[in-house]
Amino acid sequence: MRVIPLGVGGAFTDRFYHTNYLVEIPECRLLIDIGTTIRYSLLAAGYTAQDINAVVLTHFHSDHVGGLEEFSQRCRYMYQYRPTIYAMPDQVPLLASLFALHGAKPADYLNVTTVENPIVINNTGDAQYQLEYYSTIGLHAQVTSNYMISIRQKGRDNKAIRVVFTGDIGPIEKSELGRLVANPETVAVFHDCHTGSTPTPAHPSLEQMKDLYPLEQRGKIHVIHYSDNIDQYTDRIKGAGFKIAIQGEVIEW
């Protein structure tokens, strides 16, 4: 399993692309979130829309979903290709509303697959890959559908690893993150962290993260979705034992 952070910045970044991830597993490239900068970030990583097999969404803020319409149109009109989009049941009407603004339906462009949580997205001879959703409704602004997402790889020997993507969460102590980070199966968490000058309930601060995670667990956490002033926080983040996700850097297990 390979993860490439296509972008690492928050909603109002000028320095980085929006936080989106490309996950590569055998015979499948999966986009986790697809913000408005996807037309640039995907190309910068050496890919086009036709290289993507499936899309997964954490929630429907523009920096996480704003590029979906153009991506879908590129697939249909430029490449005559229909990728899959996985959606939890409460995400299906939100998808419909998004495309209805332009007189279309999601199925006009995408293979919409409603998720029975968890869902197997790939099953090779060596490993099974599951997509898992963890509800964080009420923990980020006023969105009505919000999830953490993980990819769980289980080998023939029944040993498993899990990579978690937080989406956006403010009160992390009310989420399942403490349990997930402590789980030995979890090898990495791509974790939003607020580094802006104005406090926000939509994303955790570094101090919140230090309070929740013991020092021995922090090495699993890759800080992402940060502000353009990340250089001012680098020493503090690394000094606390966390890692910082770098735009375009490949991470592999």
| pLDDT for the residue numbered 150 | 98
SS3 call for 17:
coil
Residue 139's Cβ-side half-sphere holds a number of Cα atoms within 13 Å equal to 23
CA distance 116 to 111: 16
**pLDDT tens digit string along 17-50?**
999 999 999 999 999 999 999 999 999 999 999 9
| pLDDT for the residue numbered 219 | 98
User: Residue 12: pLDDT above 90?
Assistant: yes
User: Residue 199: pLDDT above 80?
Assistant: no
The residue-averaged pLDDT of 91-99 equals: 96
| pLDDT for the residue numbered 230 | 97
Q: Which is higher by pLDDT, 212 or 200?
A: 212
**pLDDT tens digit string along 133-191?**
999 999 988 788 999 999 999 998 999 999 999 999 999 999 999 999 999 999 999 99
Domains of the chain (ranges; CATH) run: 2-252 (3.60.15.10)
CA distance 51 to 166: 24
SS3 call for 3:
strand
CA distance 62 to 69: 11
Burial grade of 119 (CB within 10 A; 0-12, 13-18, 19 or more):
middle
| pLDDT for the residue numbered 211 | 97
201: pLDDT confidence band, cut at 50, 70 and 90? confident
| pLDDT for the residue numbered 145 | 93
Burial grade of 128 (CB within 10 A; 0-12, 13-18, 19 or more):
middle
CA trace torsion 202, 208, 212, 214 (10° rounding): 140
